Amino acid sequence: MDLFDKCHINLLDEIRAKHIYPYFHCLESRQAPVVEMEGQKRIMLGSNNYLGLTEDEQVIAAGKAALEQYGTGVSGSRFLNGTLDMHLRLEQTLARFTGYEAAMICSTGFQTNLAIISSICGKDDYILNDRENHASIYDATRLSYATQVRYRHSDMEDLERRLQSIPPEAGKLIVTDGVFSMRGDICRLPDICDLADKYNARVMVDDAHGFGVLGEGGRGTAAHFGLTDRVDITMLTFSKSLASIGGCMLASQRVTDYVRHTSRPFIFSASLTPSATATALAALEQLEQDPTRPERLMQLTRHFQQALLKAGVKIIEAPTPIVPIFTYHTLATLFYGKRLFEEGVYVNPVIAPACVEGECLLRTTLMATHSEEVLDEAVEIIARVLRQGSPFDGQ
C-alpha cells in the first residue's frame, strides 16, 4: 500500500460532486454580526466571537500600539528570549480576575491543553475524559502516555464506575469541557467535583466556550457553579471571548511552576505575539469594565431560542449562546448549510466525527453585539429553508 492511498476521501469527493461542500468560505470583513463573505452580506451565526470584541475599537487600538512598541514577534519561546512584560501582565490579570493563584499563557488553545495534560500526567496515571471533550484533550491524553478512560457524556454513574475500576493509589485526572462546543450544554461540575473528592482525583475544566459567557462577569464555568476553589486546573482560550488567539492555564502556583518547567509543548514553542497579547489583555479589560456583556449575550440567546421554537425549528435548549439545530443526516445537513449560506445566513454544519452519525446538526452561535432585528431575520430564513426540505433528507 502506498503511503498516500489514504488521501482519497470518498465523502469529500461525493459532497463536492453534489455541490454541498461547506468549508473554507472566505471572510472579507471584520468578524461582526453581519459580515461580507464571498461578495455578499451574510448574517454571522457561525462565530465564537461571543462578546463581539474583535471589532471593538479599543481592542484594535491596543493591538496596533503593541506592534509599534514591540514589533511583529518575539522570535523565541517564553523559556528563553520570548517573555514580554505584557505576557506577565496578562497572566497576572487573568489569575486575579478568575480567582486562581497563577496563570500560564500559551500561543494557542490547542497547545494549552497539550502543554498541561502531557506535563501533569504520565504513564502510571489515568485520565478520565467525557466522550464529547474537545479533540485537543484527546490528543493531549495520547501525548501524556497516561491510560485513557472515557465515560459517557455527562453520565455521572458511568464516571463513578470508571473511577471505581482504577487502582486507588494511581494518579487520576478528570477532564471535562465546561461548555461542550457542539451541543452547548454545560458539564455537571458539582457532581464531578464530588466524585473527585470521593476517589482522590483531580479536576480540569476546558473553559474555551465558558469563559466570558458563564459566571459572574463572565468568569467561567467554575464561577458559574461557585466551585473555583474545587477545580484544580482551568484552561481557557483567547480566540473566543477575548477576541485574539492563544490560551491559558489557571492553577495553583506550584502546579503552574511545574508545567512551566516540564512541558515540551510550552518550552519548545514560540510565545504569543505582541499584538495578540495586547488584544487579549485589552479585551479582558473591556470585560472587567463592562460585566453586562455576558448578560446581554444571555438575553439574546433566550430571544433567539424562543423565536426558533415559535417558528417550529427543533433545537437543543441550553443556557449558552451555542444553539444547535437538529438536521440528523450528513448530506441533508450539508445541503441546509449551503442553502442558508446562499440565503444570507452563515452557520456551521456539524457532521461525524464531530458528532455521532445520525445526530448531525447546524451549529449556530451568537454575539453580544447582535441585535434582535438581525436575529429575527435569521430565524425567518432558517425556518423557511428547513420547511422547504432537502433532497437528501434521511441520507
Give the residue numbers annotated as catalytic, written as ranges. 181, 209, 240
Cell numbers that stand for 8 in this block: 482519497
Strands lying side by side in the sheet with 147-151: 102-106, 247-251, 233-237, 202-206, 172-177, 126-130, 147-151
Could you tell me the CA-to-CA distances from 102 to 14, 148, 227, 308 in Å, in that order?
A: 49, 27, 17, 42
Take residue 36 and report the three cell numbers written for it. Answer: 461580507
Find, among 23, 12, 18, the residue nearest to 337 by Cα: 23
Q: Which of 213, 188, 207 is nearest to 113 (CA)?
A: 207
Where do we find the cell 485520565? 127
Percent of the chain that is helix, strand, coil (3-state, to 5):
45, 15, 40
* Residue matched to cell numbers 461571543: 50
Q: CA-to-CA distance for 314 and 55, rounded, in angstroms?
A: 32
Q: How far is CA 287 from CA 56, 61, 107, 292, in A?
A: 12, 16, 21, 8
Copy the grid coordinates of residue 246: 492563544
Residue 6: Cβ-neighbour burial (10 angstroms; 0-12, 13-18, 19+): exposed
The pairing of beta strand 40-44 with beta strand 202-206? unpaired
Q: Cα dihedral sign for 223, 228, 230, 235?
A: positive
Distance CA 221, CA 22 (A): 31
At 320, the amino acid letter reads T
Cell numbers 485526572 correspond to: 173
Matching residue, cell 496596533: 64
Biggest CA–CA distance in the chain, Å, is 60
Which amino acid type is present at position 366?
A: L
